[in-house]
Structure 1
């Protein structure tokens, strides 16, 4: 389990090796009452002996189960290490991670899910790879223990990310990753209402590595990865970090205009030559109506995409929040 790859621009080899003394572990929490307490204990047991300073930042993204009570108990057990932020409602994984990034203080931050599919001991390998000079290191897996739906969604997301936001081919955008202080400080400057962490990473640095990690079965419960969340992620990627959809829409409009112009020439020529348009009821009526319907639908799709961009611009102008914090635990004593 020591395979690594690099996706940088070639400058990493010239960078000085960085030493991580203070490690932050960021865990977004959502409906994980059965796993989160044990995960926090295991993170402390695994990482505290290795790093001079360790902090755990937990962000509860509007859980509807007893996750809040379980996390509060764990924070009491590890009062010198753990920080806890509870959001006012469910904002989504990426806003929750953004909230946590605003509160981490380590030389780097490891972001890990709350479902035990990423063993905490794998963080060590990711940090070791980061110390070689990378700004960000993503995990990748020989075998993923996700559902077929999530695996399919990940492949589609990977294709879109390569096409729209310049993701290097071969780089897997895993939620399990480590990010150094420089990139964290860059990411949290983003104030738009729709943060997409991987998009912010890719526009902040090209010094990105990958490290082979073990991927375990989900310990209990079922994945929160739904079609709705996937579509929202794609919209964040499309409209927040790429103008490619607008360019595609413009190209489609140009092609349709050219097609319409050629059809007009054809119809006029056919009419003068005594073609179908001299008939009282010209044939092809149904196909003409179908064509109008198709083109009208395409125009509505393009207008909808433009409307999505304009709507997000409006929400940005209105300063719609990325997240709203209901309450915090342990932040003040860590600042003192």
Structure 2
């Protein structure tokens, strides 16, 4: 492997035994055209298939490939962070392993970075995903943008090229919940995006089901924003104000002897409604406290089991 590579390509690997060899071959083609020194870092997120065996074979045959295996399945974004921690290049490319992110686009990303940008993101103008994947991604971006008061583009994912100081800034973020695109946005720097070609998935299906994407969105929002708490405070104040107005109305009705029998239904509905608000608010608060508890434990977000190459 090159001692001081110009570019490091980091790719998390999961259920990719049939495509990891083609992934490396396509990356090599792009690097040969660019004529720069490089290293390829593949991170096995404890894939249940034979991806790791394929990765070890590739590392033995190709000195530019480093294969890393995590001790268990930590998730895509912790796997990316694990790869970044071992990257030595002046520039680091992050891309998925399913070849929807096409290695040939690295050339365009690198050329754009040479114009003075420290972050160049790949914008997928025409996504070759299923309708459900596109819909869930759009819902995620809208919800995330609303709850965090930021702009999240669902056409931009992990694929991009990043200067080494950007990568170091991301590695310095100590949050237990890792979400790479948000970290990129958070650290700032001079960034831009360019349109790239998005390909069909070479093999298998996405590991992000709707429920997993929903869980990711929820955990990320809770981790990076306290807006849900603020919304519940505003909602509670609104309910209190409306209750005050209703109370004033009933006092007026009582003074004028217009209320003969107090309504049982209204009392029950009010109790259940307010109880639901209280329980939900306590639950949201408890979740935030739980996240604080997880953060204070300071457990590693990934554990490396083996490294080859």
Tell whether the structures are fold-level matches, with TM greater than 0.5. yes
Matching residue within 235, 243, 246 for 2:229 = 246
Q: Deviations over 1:154-182 (max 9, x none)?
A: 21222234334454476843121221112
> Unpaired runs of 5+ in structure 2?
none
> Unpaired runs of 5+ in structure 1?
1-20, 331-336
Indicate yes or no: 2:57 matched with 1:41: no
Of the structure 1 ranges 300-309 and 209-218, higher mean CA displacement relative to structure 2 is found in 300-309
- Matched with 1:218 is 201
State the Cα distance separating 1:64 from its structure 2 match.
0.6
CA distance in 1, matches of 2:286, 2:228: 12
- Matched with 1:10 is none
State the Cα distance separating 1:303 from its structure 2 match.
1.9
Matching residue within 3, 12, 16 for 1:28 = 12
State the Cα distance separating 1:54 from its structure 2 match.
0.4
5 Å-filtered alignment, 1:170-181, equals 172-181=155-164
- Matched with 2:94 is 111
- Matched with 1:66 is 50
- Matched with 2:181 is 198
SS at match of 2:34: coil
User: Does structure 2 retain, via aligned residues, the 8 Å contact 1:41–1:74?
Assistant: no
Indicate yes or no: 2:234 matched with 1:255: no
State the Cα distance separating 1:311 from its structure 2 match.
0.6
Distance 1:292 1:134, change over 3 A: farther
Matching residue within 135, 140, 146 for 1:163 = 146
User: Does structure 2 retain, via aligned residues, the 8 Å contact 1:183–1:204?
Assistant: yes
User: Does structure 2 retain, via aligned residues, the 8 Å contact 1:158–1:172?
Assistant: no
User: Does structure 2 retain, via aligned residues, the 8 Å contact 1:195–1:236?
Assistant: no
Superposition RMSD in Å: 2.0
User: Does structure 1 retain, via aligned residues, the 8 Å contact 2:138–2:154?
Assistant: no
CA distance in 1, matches of 2:90, 2:150: 25
CA distance in 1, matches of 2:75, 2:252: 57
TM-score w.r.t. structure 2 length? 0.92
Indicate yes or no: 2:276 matched with 1:292: no
Distance 1:269 1:224, change over 3 A: same
TM-score w.r.t. structure 1 length? 0.85
Q: Deviations over 1:241-299 (max 9, x none)?
A: 222222112211211221222222222222222233x22xx34x334423432332233
5 Å-filtered alignment, 1:299-310, equals 299-310=278-289
SS at match of 2:274: helix
User: Does structure 1 retain, via aligned residues, the 8 Å contact 2:69–2:306?
Assistant: yes
